[in-house]
Amino acid sequence: MKLSGAKVLITGASSGIGAATARAMAAAGADLVLAGRDRTRLEAVAAETGGRAVVCDLAAQPRVLAERAGPVDVLVNNAGVGWSGPFARMSQETLQHLVAVNLIAPIRLTQLLLPGMIDAGRGHVVFVASIAGVIGVGREAVYSATKAGLITFAEALRHELRDFSGVGVSVLLPGVVDTPFFERRGTPYTRRAPAPIPPERVANAIVAAIRYERPESYVPGWLRLPARLRGAAPGPFRALMRFFG
């Protein structure tokens, strides 16, 4: 799909992967609508990229965002939140918030904007998921579940649209990315490996997924190995997970 002149809506665009994606899309010549809750950061990214900032709470106001954005050619569902800790100690409010932001909001926003793409006979929807949604991560059970739901929804929607609509669907599965995500979830990333990758690497993968109609992209690419091992040999996979923690 050609991005030059395309109208692209990016959620969670005030920092991290969203801000990096805005810069990559601007370099490709896209017309940007940038959504987020942090007005100061969002307007700074909009000024840098020539985009239009829409400040809103996506989980509470998906229809407001869809109306303010108007018809779009590309939707990048990037906004997400995390939480790390024992599931048994997770509050109901936190659980509901993760499900609302990470799963329900992108599905609902897609539902609101997809008819315009179908009517136009072209478009692309991107879901930024996580490798956690494929392999499951201890102390991040609900986060992993929301990302798994997003991956499955993207796959099902791709099958539904594939033969007649002209609308592509891509899902991105990043690993550890150097963004404020870990700071905001309240638990820093302390592992020596894998090392966090820059958000620009994920942003470039998003652009490539749209341009070349790639259904699924792992960033970095070696993450395909544990994902495939889990499906092909679940016993050895779980043994390795226990060994490496």
What DSSP string runs through 53-93?
Answer: EEE--TTT-HHHHHHHH-S-SEEEE-------S-GGG--HH
Contact partners, residue 1, CB within 8 Å, separation at least 6? 73, 74, 122, 124, 168, 210, 211, 213
Q: Which residues pair with 167 in a beta bridge?
A: 123
∠ CA 202-64-71, rounded to 5°: 65
For residues 171 and 188, give the distance between their C-alpha atoms in angstroms, rounded to a whole number.
26
Contact partners, residue 89, CB within 8 Å, separation at least 6? none
Query: How far apart are the two ends of the chain, measured CA to CA in Å?
Result: 41
For residues 165 and 210, give the distance between their C-alpha atoms in angstroms, rounded to a whole number.
15
143 part of the active site? yes
Q: Of the residues 143, 189, 212, 218, which is catalytic? A: 143
Q: With b meaning 16 or more CB within 10 Å and e meaning fewer, what string describes 54-87?
A: bbbebbebbeebbeebeebbbbbbbbbbbbbeee
Tokens 């996506």 found at:
58
Tell me if 194 sits within 8 A of 131, measured CB to CB: no
Tokens 């700074």 found at:
44
Q: Catalytic site residues? A: 143
